[in-house]
Amino acid sequence: MALALPTGALVLLALLWELARPRLRATLAARKVRSADRERSTELGYDRGRELRAEQRARALLASCIDDEDWAMYRDLGFLRVWGSARHATDGPAAGAPYAYLIYPHRPIVAYLPQTGALLNEYCVAFPDLSKPYGSARLPDSDDVLAKWMALTADERRLISDANMHLPGRQIDPDTVRRDLLRLARWERERLAHGADSVRAA
Amino acid sequence: MKLLRLKPGHGEIVLAEGDVEIREQEEELIRAFRRELDAGMWAAVPTETRGGRREAELVRSFAEVPRDAERVIFFPRAAGGDHRAAR
Per residue in A136-187, pLDDT (tens digit) is 889 999 999 999 999 999 999 999 999 999 999 999 999 999 999 999 999 9
Identity of the highest mean pLDDT range in A4-18, A184-198, B73-87: A184-198
Contact B54 A137 (CB under 8 A): no
Query: Mean pLDDT of all residues in chain B?
Result: 92
A198 vs A144: CA distance, rounded Å: 34
Res B86: pLDDT = 47
Q: Is residue B28 part of a domain?
A: yes
A193, β-bridge pairs:
none
Instruction: Please list every residue in chain A whose beta carbon sits closer than 8 Å to the beta carbon of residue B82.
Output: 124, 164, 171
- Residue pLDDT, tens place only, B7-36: 999 999 999 999 999 999 999 999 999 999
The verdict on a CB contact (< 8 Å) between A126 and B81 is yes
Give the pLDDT confidence score for residue A64 in this predicted structure.
Answer: 96
Q: Do A139 and B53 touch (CB under 8 A)?
A: no
Residue A169 lies in a domain: yes
Residues in Cβ contact with A184 at an 8 Å cutoff, skipping those fewer than 6 apart: A73, A77, A81
Q: What is the pLDDT of residue A136?
A: 85
Residues 6+ apart with CB under 8 A from A120: A99, A111, A112, A113, A168
Q: Let me know if residue A54 belongs to a domain.
A: no
- Residue B82, in any domain of the structure: no
Tell me the nearest-neighbour CA distance from B80 into chain A, angstroms.
Answer: 4
In chain B, the DSSP E strands lie at 2-7, 11-17, 41-48, 54-59, 71-76, 79-80
Q: Are strands B41-48 and B11-17 parallel, antiparallel or unpaired?
A: unpaired
pLDDT in the model for residue A186: 97
> Is B86 domain-assigned?
no
Pick from B12, B54, B78: which is nearest to A159 by CB?
A: B78
Residue A72, pLDDT score = 97
Q: Do B56 and A149 touch (CB under 8 A)?
A: yes
The terminus-to-terminus CA distance of chain A in angstroms comes to 88
Q: How far is B7 from chain A (nearest CA, A)?
A: 6
pLDDT in tens, A13-70: 888 888 888 777 877 877 877 776 666 655 556 788 999 999 999 999 999 999 999 9
In a domain, A88, yes or no: yes
Which one is predicted more confidently, A145 or A196?
Answer: A145
The residue in chain A having the minimum alpha-carbon distance to the alpha carbon of residue B78 is A127
Contact B8 A124 (CB under 8 A): no
The rounded distance, in Å, linking the Cα atoms of B76 and B39 is 9
Domain containing residue A130: 66-201
Of B70, B69, B7, B72, give the one whose Cα is nearest residue B33. Answer: B72
pLDDT over 70 at B83, yes or no:
no
C-beta neighbour count of B78 within 10 angstroms? 23
Closest approach of B74 to chain A, Cα-based (Å): 9
Number of domains in chain A: 1
Backbone angles phi, psi at A166, to 5 degrees: -135, 165
- Dihedral sign of CA atoms A20, A23, A28, A31 in order: negative
Kindly tell me if the per-residue pLDDT of A197 is higher than 90: no
Rounded Cα–Cα distance for residues B68 and B26 (Å): 13
| Structural domains counted in chain B | 1
pLDDT over 70 (residue B82): no
What are A75-130's pLDDT values in tens digits?
999 999 999 987 554 554 445 668 999 999 999 999 999 999 999 999 999 999 98
Examine residue A138 and state whether it is found in any structural domain, yes or no: yes
Is residue A45 in a domain? no
Give the one of B12, B42, B82 whose C-beta lies nearest to A61's C-beta: B12
For the entire predicted model, the pTM comes to: 0.79
Lowest mean pLDDT among A53-62, A137-146, A190-199, B66-75: A190-199
Q: Does residue B73 sit within a domain?
A: yes
